[in-house]
Amino acid sequence: MAPAYPRGGAGQGRDRPPGRFSCFGLASGEGRGFVRACLMRSPASIVIPLCSAVGYTFAAMALKRAMDGGHPWRVLFIVNLIGAVLFQTWLLHGGEPFTSTHVLHAALAGTAFFIGQVFTFVAISRGDISIATPVLGTKVVFVALLVFATGGEHLGWKLWVATFLTSLALALLGGEWRANRERLLVSVLFSFLASIAFAATDVMQQLWVPAVGFGHFAPVMFATVGLLSFTLIPFFSAPLREMPRPMVIWAFGGGTLLTIQAMGIAYCIAVYHEVTVTNVLYNTRGLWSVALVWVIGHWFANAEKHVGRAIMTRRLIGALILLAAVYLSLA
C-alpha cells in the first residue's frame, strides 16, 4: 500500500532516476546557477531546514541560559517531555496501519535519538562546549556514510565534498580548541558517539517511515524518547519542583522551539528522502549562531560576542566554507 504522506515533488526522493541526487542531476549540465537549483527543488525542502537552523540557534541560546543554573539533566528531561507531547500532533497526519514491527522500528529510532541527546549533554557538561559543538557537526559525515552503506541514496562527488566541507566549517565555527587532556577526551569521545547516534536516527527514519507514514512513526518515536527520559530522574541534582522559576521558563521556551525545529527536520527527511542534503542545509545553523549570538546574544545573557578577533575571524572563515557546502549540496 502507498504511504499516506507525499513522497516529494518532481525529482525528489526514491523515485528519481539513478544518479540524480542533486536538484537537476548529473545529466542536466554543470553550468546552471544556484538560483536555478533552488527553483527546481521543492521549496519546502529548502525553506524548512533553513528555518529549523535559525530556530535551533534561538533554542540553544535559551537552553544554555536554563542550564546556567546547573540543571542539565532536569533541562533535558523537560525538553524530552515537551517533544514527546508535541510530536503526538502528527497523529492527525495519518498513515498506514501499524504492526508490532513498525512499533519496534519507531522505538529503535527513538532510542537512538535519546542516546544521542544523553551523549551530547555528557560532552557539554563534563567537557568543553567549544570542542563538543564542532565535533557534533560530524553527524553529516556519518549520515553520508550510513546512507551510502544502506543503499538509501546515490551520493555524487559534490555531496561528499559538501559533507566534509560542512564538518570543516563547523570546526572553525566552534571556538577555541583549548582544554586539558581529560576534558578534551570527554568532549571528543561523547560528541562523536552523539553524532553517530543522531546519524543513525536520521537514516532509520528514511528507511522505515515510508512503510507507515510520518504521522504514525514520529509520535511513537518521540513517545519512546519521553519514556526513556524517566531514567534521568535518579541523576537529578534536586527535584524538579526546586528548579528556579526563571530556569524553568527558559527550559520550556527553549524546549518548545527545539521541538518545533526538530519536527521540521524530521518531516523533511521522512517526506523528501534526502538525508544528506537536509543535514547540510540544517547545518547553516553554525552561520546563524555566529550572526545571532553577536547581535542579540546579550538578550540571553550570552557573552560570546566578547571573544577575540582571532576567534571571530576563524568563525567567519568557517561561515564562508559552510556557504560553499550549501552551494555544492544544491548544485
Residue-range domain boundaries for the chain: 42-330
Residue 206 · residue 8 · CB < 8 Å: no
- Confidence grade of residue 16 (pLDDT, cut at 50, 70, 90): very low
Helix axes 275-282, 43-67, angle to 10 degrees: 50
| In the predicted structure, residue 226 carries a pLDDT above the cut 90 | yes
Torsion of CA 45, 48, 53, 57, to 10 degrees: -170
Lowest-pLDDT choice from 54-58, 167-171, 304-308, 324-328: 304-308
CA dist 76 and 204 (Å) reads 23
Going by C-beta distance under 8 Å and a sequence separation of 6 or more, which residues neighbour residue 110? 220, 221, 222, 223, 224, 225, 228
Q: Tell me the DSSP string of 223-283.
A: HHHHHHGGGGGGG-SS-GGGS-HHHHHHHHHHHHHHHHHHHHHHHHHHHH--HHHHHHHHT
Q: What is the pTM for the complete model shown?
A: 0.75
End-to-end CA distance of the chain: 34
CA dist 198 and 112 (Å) reads 7
| In the predicted structure, residue 12 carries a pLDDT above the cut 50 | no
Residue found under cell 546557477: 33
